[in-house]
Amino acid sequence: MARRLHASRTEGVDKNVWVEFTKLAADYKAVNLGQGFPDFSPPKFVQEAFCSAVSGGPLMHQYTRAFGHPPLVKNMAKFFSRVVGHEIDPFEDILVTVGAYQALFSAFQALIDEGDEVIIVEPFFDCYQPMVKMAGGKAVYVPLRPVYKTEELQMIADLCIKHDMLCISDEVYEWLTYDGAKHVKIASLPGMWERTITIGSGGKTFSATGWKVGWAISSGHIIKHMKIIHQNTVYHCATAAQEAVAQGFEREYEVFGTPESYFKQLPAMLQHKRNKLASCLQSVGLQPIMPEGGYFMIADISSSTGEELYDFRFVKWLTKEKGLATIPVSAFYSPEHGKEFDKYIRFCFV
């Protein structure tokens, strides 16, 4: 074919750190502390829910409601209304997506136009940048500290209200906070419900990343635009996986705040793993930065010169020569700032 084939929206977004490094880890059969997924199973109650969905009636294997399986959205509305302190309408205020990844994509596509600016806090989950680009937006980078304290969130909220901006809040690791740190939902701050899109993940909530069930929760007048994107992209999400996550939320609603809650047990288990990995890294002379939340830890490695950023080269060497896979942290920074952060690598301790 003589003509140019690809659409220009795919230009400059073809490199992807996961595609590159997951392949490397697989090729060298490395111990994979790179990509963020647990190597243990989801909790029994949710695995059983999935199995029972699979052997459920024929409708479990056919299309369900496009914007979210009714039992799932109803259970989520009940669960999160209590957490956020705002009555959430299951059919108007929630959109179920194929992972939080697709919720992010739908939010950008529905709301960002050519020329819109989007503020991205560094370091950031790498997909934000290409997604903003694909939507025609312009990314503006600002470094801020993770596990936001309420005062920090209030500062962001004040700016959003002052400048009449939207807030896309990616809270996929919302249950994973350590050392008593509290997760605060920016959507629960005054004036923020109607301008915030809160994104969550069944995969991270229930340690089942391979189910790819995610969601966006916001005021109906925003969700309705995302529904239009959804009905023109994938239209439906898999039924059985949604049924299983629905049952997961039902169970968690009942035991919320008690020791049986998976949302207490998982962070307790992971805090222990976090500490273990930290001492291991310290013992070999690496400097870990203790996370207050999430699945990841970054460690300081010493710097030197070269064309490809140091952390990229270090990670490749570590994978090939030592059989240990990690992720270079400059992948989570804009091209302009990556050089300043090329002496960190990221470990997953889940």
Question: What is the smallest separation between the CB atom of 125 and another protein, expressed in angstroms?
Answer: 11
Which residue, 50 or 333, has its beta carbon nearer to another protein? 50
- Count of C-beta atoms within a 10 Å radius of residue 313: 15
Question: What is the smallest separation between the CB atom of 16 and another protein, expressed in angstroms?
Answer: 5
- Count of C-beta atoms within a 10 Å radius of residue 61: 12
| Residue from 28, 124, 173, 211 binding another protein (CB under 8 A) | 211
Which range of residues in 100-108, 270-278, 306-314, 322-330 is near another protein by CB under 8 A? 100-108
- Count of C-beta atoms within a 10 Å radius of residue 296: 21
- Count of C-beta atoms within a 10 Å radius of residue 215: 26
Rounded Cα distance between 315 and 179, Å, is 29
Q: Does 223 bind another protein (CB under 8 A)?
A: no
Which residue, 32 or 343, has its beta carbon nearer to another protein? 32
Contact 139, 334 (CB under 8 A): yes
Contact 103, 199 (CB under 8 A): yes
Q: Does 209 bind another protein (CB under 8 A)?
A: yes
Q: Does 204 bind another protein (CB under 8 A)?
A: no
For tokens 């209030």, name the residue.
Answer: 154
Question: What is the smallest separation between the CB atom of 303 and another protein, expressed in angstroms?
Answer: 29
Number of residues that bind another protein (CB under 8 A): 105
Contacts of 242 (CB under 8 A, 6+ apart): 64, 68, 69, 71, 72, 96, 213
Question: What is the smallest separation between the CB atom of 343 and another protein, expressed in angstroms?
Answer: 27
Q: Which of residues 57-96 bind another protein (CB under 8 A)?
A: 58-66, 82-86
Rounded Cα distance between 343 and 226, Å, is 38
| Residue from 263, 269, 320, 334 binding another protein (CB under 8 A) | 263
Q: Does 97 bind another protein (CB under 8 A)?
A: yes
Q: Does 30 bind another protein (CB under 8 A)?
A: no
Phi then psi dihedrals of residue 128, to 5 deg? -60, -45
| Residue from 96, 185, 252, 301 binding another protein (CB under 8 A) | 185
Q: Which of residues 140-159 bind another protein (CB under 8 A)?
A: none
